[in-house]
Amino acid sequence: MPFRFINPNYHVILIHYPLGVFVLGVILEIISFISSKSSARVAARWMIVLGALLSVPAATSGIAALHDVQKQGAWAVDRYAFMRSHVLWMSIGTLLAVFCAIVGLGASNLWRNRLRIPLLLGCLAALGCMTNGAWYAGESIYTMGTSVMMVKYKGKGEKIAPTIPPAMQHRPELQPPTIDPSATPDERAQMEHQYKYDRFARYYVGGEEQVHIIVAGFALAFALGAMGLSFRRLTSLRSYDQMQMESEQQEVSLIGGPPRRVTDDVAMMRTLNPDAAVEPQERVPVSRFWLLSILVTLITVVLGYWILEKDKFATSEGFHAFLRVIAYPKEHHDEMRHFAHFVLGCGLVLVMFIMAILALWMPRRRIALAFFSIVLVFLMVAQVWIGILLTFDDEGPLMHFNKADADSAMIDHVATPVAQI
């Protein structure tokens, strides 16, 4: 049985959908300049928002993909340079696309129209960065064999044995266990259980770490989208309040006195026709998105627990071992990554819950919304950084990687081709 059902990882799937949606949205936004009343403009904006936000889990899946490549050991200089450029340009493009999407989502109708050209230019810049980063990844894969198996061909129609580059050597095939005749029944049951678990978790699911990292990306995307909707709720309420104030001032100027407090037109229309679709202000379902973000974040926490305990996930032994891992290390202050990762995850859930309350009961509090948005972004950045440290470096200090030994250097300064085609 191969290493995984989907090889080499889910990153090759997740990168195409956000890029395709985002590119098509930018194209439609450019086309919509021909006719401002075209329905393509609405479709373009939603596609840009969805493509930008979905690029977040695509980027986090790249962390898992890069970890797969890192497992092969020392890198050739050219391959390392290409992957470094890929990560840099794709990160810049993703951050710029998400920023433009949140600004466009949270701005009022007036400011969205005023910022239409700057936001479009920002999306074009993000698209350029993503295109440049995608070129580096494609060159690294198709010319250097990064994370793939390359096959040598001797001549036309003559195929020789496949060459397995170092990128694939750390991926042993999943084989049924060989039962030793002298093994006890408990040992045989344990071997069978381990094989079934590996077949489910490693082959079909794709590995505990990969699933955790991808779902974490979706949690970040939902939270960022909910934050944009929170600002949209604030701006829509302010626009509605301003419209009401201007209406009252116009009425005062017409009748020469304060307006009469009688049943308004909307209430009168609803008494005459209860099914009339009359809404005094824009409705933004922001609280639902915050609750969805909380749910996905909690699922991410559970998946993090699964990474640590694996097949002991549902046992009391595994739960107690998990508590020991995330406990505050009193004696080893330079090994706090698991503890900090868990605390930051709980902090994210708490801040999301607070912002859901703000959106539901105090949607006009601008200072509170801005403050907790800043706190949320800070927690996201810190959580991603700690997650990267744990993925590539396991336990250690919070601010930097562990010092690498001379024998475990990441770069091999002798650049040799993986295979020839």
Shared domain for 340 and 292, answered yes or no, is yes
The CA angle 242-276-239, to the nearest 5 degrees, is: 10
pLDDT over 80 at 77, yes or no: no
Shared domain for 161 and 292, answered yes or no, is no
- What is the tens place of the pLDDT at every residue in 335-374? 788 888 999 999 999 999 999 988 888 777 888 889 999 9
**Tell me, what's the pLDDT at 276?**
41
Shared domain for 126 and 252, answered yes or no, is no
Q: From CA 283, how far away is CA 286, in angstroms rounded?
A: 9
Alpha carbon of 287 to those of 139, 212, 344: distances in Å?
A: 44, 25, 22
- What is the tens place of the pLDDT at every residue in 122-150? 999 999 999 999 999 888 888 877 776 54
- What is the tens place of the pLDDT at every residue in 194-246? 777 777 777 788 888 889 999 999 999 999 999 999 988 888 776 655 555 55
Q: Is residue 278 part of a domain?
A: no
Q: Is residue 77 part of a domain?
A: yes
**Tell me, what's the pLDDT at 258?**
55
Structural domain containing residue 353: 207-272+283-400
pLDDT over 80 at 332, yes or no: no
**Percent of the chain's residues with pLDDT above 70:** 72
Alpha carbon of 268 to those of 249, 265, 272, 278: distances in Å?
A: 21, 5, 6, 11
Give the count of beta carbons closer than 10 Å to the beta carbon of residue 261: 6
* Terminal Cα-to-Cα distance of the chain (whole angstroms): 26
Q: Is residue 408 part of a domain?
A: no
pLDDT over 80 at 16, yes or no: yes
Q: Is residue 38 part of a domain?
A: yes
Shared domain for 112 and 245, answered yes or no, is no
Shared domain for 307 and 242, answered yes or no, is yes
Shared domain for 169 and 211, answered yes or no, is no
Shared domain for 144 and 223, answered yes or no, is no
- What is the tens place of the pLDDT at every residue in 291-300? 999 999 999 9
Instruction: Look at residues 155, 173, 191 and tell me which one is the last residue of a structural domain.
Output: 173
What letters, b where the CB count within 10 A reaches 16 and e where it falls short, cover 108-138? beeebeeebeebbebbeebbebbebbbebbe
**Tell me, what's the pLDDT at 403?**
76
- Cβ partners under 8 Å of residue 384, min gap 6: 60, 220
The stretch 14-26 carries a mean pLDDT of 91
Q: Is residue 345 part of a domain?
A: yes
Q: Is residue 109 part of a domain?
A: yes
Count, residues in the chain:
421
Q: Is residue 325 part of a domain?
A: yes
Tokens 């084989």 -> residue:
175
Tokens of 44: 């373009």
Shared domain for 114 and 253, answered yes or no, is no
The domain total for the chain is 2
Beta carbons of 315 and 260 less than 8 angstroms apart = no
Q: What's the chain's average pLDDT?
A: 77
Shared domain for 230 and 152, answered yes or no, is no
Beta carbons of 303 and 208 less than 8 angstroms apart = yes
Shared domain for 228 and 143, answered yes or no, is no
Q: Is residue 119 part of a domain?
A: yes
pLDDT over 90 at 378, yes or no: yes
Shared domain for 308 and 251, answered yes or no, is yes
Shared domain for 112 and 235, answered yes or no, is no
